[in-house]
Structure 1
Amino acid sequence: MKKAIHIFTALALGIGSACAQAEPPALKVCTAENEMPYANKAGEGFENKLAQYVAEQLGRKLEAVTWTDPRYFIRDFVDKGLCDVVMGVDHGDPRLLTTLPYYRSGYVFITREQDHLDLRNWDSPALKTAKRIAFAPGTPAETMLRAIGRYNDMFSYQQELVGFKSKRNQYVKYDNDKLVNEVATGKAEIAVLWGPAAARYVKASNTPLTMTVIPDDNKRADGEKVGFHYSTSIGVRKGEVALLEQLNKIVRDKQDEIGELLEAEGIPLLDEPETALSMN
């Protein structure tokens, strides 16, 4: 009898071990510790939600691997194998393999509804007369403000908008909610921001705000095009072709569900160019 019990126990342990081995590994997703509205450590960003959805579709548990500095996380986390997936990268980012785009959006003008500003493009008269225009440096907004001769007018005001400066390498951060709030409170007449970065705060504002997608036909003073519409993909480490194909299948098959998550955030969504859809 004891021998039978021992055999049964051994079989049970063997089955349990086999089940444990069959469970797929967690999907390690590189995510920002505090880069809202995209992601934070508490999982409150829209990219946190998208990562959870992708992990569920793959039948894997989500493991968030957080980073603090956006400049180095691909080198220090992805390339070293500390995470498998990066949400929200530019389609075609040369540092990674990128999936088919799961959304396309653009930069927007943000104004108060009550001000009735007729903002259609960078030639709009309101941009010439506005006393304060909120924007983040290093973006297409800065390039076009220089092109229309308004950058120097905003230089001192821009320094007031800095929300964070690190002690290491002087990494400067501009908080998206603060920039939107500048318009909501009337401190600035206009803000120019990446639509997905602003949408949550525009939607939540007690002061009704308007987002106008900026056309993608802008040029610098020297005639070079300045892009204002971009496609966003999921990134994986180079060489991880099998994972890339799995993710592409999710993007293709679950586009409606992904779109619902993005629309709930209030993100302005644009049609994808045929060239991007045919890649990968």
Structure 2
Amino acid sequence: MRTMRKQIISLTLALAILPGSVYAQTAGLGAAGELVDPDVLRVCADPANLPFTDEKGEGYENKLAQLVAEKTGRKSISYTWFPMVMGFVRNTLRANRCDIIMGYAQGDELVQNTNAYLRAPYVLMYKKGGPLEGVETIEDPKLADKRVGVVQSTPPASNMAKANLMKKAKIYDLMRDTRFTHSPAELMIKDIESGEIDAAVVWGPMGGYFAKQMKADLAIVPLTKETTGSRMIYRITMGVRPSDQEWKRTLNTVIRENQPAINKILLDYGVPLIDEQNRPITE
């Protein structure tokens, strides 16, 4: 699982009415102080981090990059590959080797965030029809004697600690190079199916994707009803350099005008989208 981060910023009315082919003329090397390539969408990405990105172009952020390239009139897409670990932003976006991180959680000062295109929760996963049927929160007493999987140092870990679930918990590594090892979400699902753990708490886009890929018969419960501890819901944005104001506004326009198409991409990957009232988005 990757460390969570933040967003917010508004659109400009002028860019909102421009067609995609014109966006590129207003946000590129010609924009004062900006180093954004006007012809190539230069993406900073992890080479082996499904469901987000991979070198084969099979992640949903790869698909989002294709949409952004099309809508901004870019002729092609290029990738700067670097594992999503400490130093990712410094060695990619901040080094001017690329111009956009396709998925970045709202609020980190290392990047400038666009408006959010995705709002999703952490999820609780367990076998359907078993003793945990109906559990919707980490605080549920049914979990008291269960072994629950959680990724090290992620927000649910603190909630599990408050619920006294950490003594029996199975901890999965936070930082892992997925070029050489499985995603923690994939490992969690295998452990639930084998009985190694009873349940797992994981970032929703990862849990939803791998459960779908592995055809796992699991309940995937959005953690939208937690009453204490860390928040379980995050907005995901695109990340750009703080100096690239025009580029940010261009991307905000693309997001606003293409949200239904973005939702379709995400839902096809099993991402559990929710709206501002925490209701599931299904289309």
Question: Where does structure 1 differ by over 3 angstroms across 4 or more consecutive aligned residues?
Answer: 161-166
TM-score after normalising by structure 2:
0.77
Matching residue of 1:249? 253
1:212 aligned to which of 221, 228, 242: 221
TM-score after normalising by structure 1:
0.78
> Would you say 1:199 and 2:213 are equivalent positions?
no
Percent of pairs with identical residues: 26
1:50 aligned to which of 64, 71, 84: 64
Secondary structure, counterpart of 1:153 in structure 2: coil
Distance 1:116 1:256, change over 3 A: farther
> Would you say 1:119 and 2:128 are equivalent positions?
no
Counterpart-to-counterpart distance in 1, 2:84 and 2:272: 27
> Would you say 1:99 and 2:114 are equivalent positions?
yes
> Would you say 1:229 and 2:233 are equivalent positions?
yes
Please state how far the C-alpha of 1:51 moved relative to its aligned partner: 1.3
2:270 aligned to which of 241, 251, 266: 266
Secondary structure, counterpart of 2:168 in structure 1: helix
Q: How big is the alpha-carbon RMSD for the aligned residues of Structure 1 and Structure 2?
A: 2.2
Q: Give structure 2 stretches of 5+ with no counterpart.
A: 1-36, 278-283
Matching residue of 1:38? 52
Matching residue of 1:76? 91
Which is worse superposed, 241-250 or 23-32?
Answer: 23-32
Counterpart-to-counterpart distance in 2, 1:229 and 1:24: 34
Secondary structure, counterpart of 1:152 in structure 2: coil
- Amino acid of the structure 1 residue aligned with 2:158: T
Distance 1:253 1:165, change over 3 A: closer
Counterpart-to-counterpart distance in 1, 2:196 and 2:274: 30
Task: Tell me if structure 2 keeps the 8 A contact 1:98–1:235.
Answer: yes
Question: How many residues are aligned here?
Answer: 236
Counterpart-to-counterpart distance in 1, 2:191 and 2:101: 31
Secondary structure, counterpart of 2:135 in structure 1: coil
Counterpart-to-counterpart distance in 2, 1:250 and 1:141: 32
User: Quick check: which one's helix share is greater?
Assistant: 1
Q: Give structure 1 stretches of 5+ with no counterpart.
A: 1-22, 167-171, 221-225, 274-280
Task: Tell me if structure 2 keeps the 8 A contact 1:164–1:174.
Answer: no
Matching residue of 1:151? 166
Please state how far the C-alpha of 1:205 moved relative to its aligned partner: 3.0
Task: Tell me if structure 2 keeps the 8 A contact 1:106–1:213.
Answer: yes
Secondary structure, counterpart of 1:243 in structure 2: helix
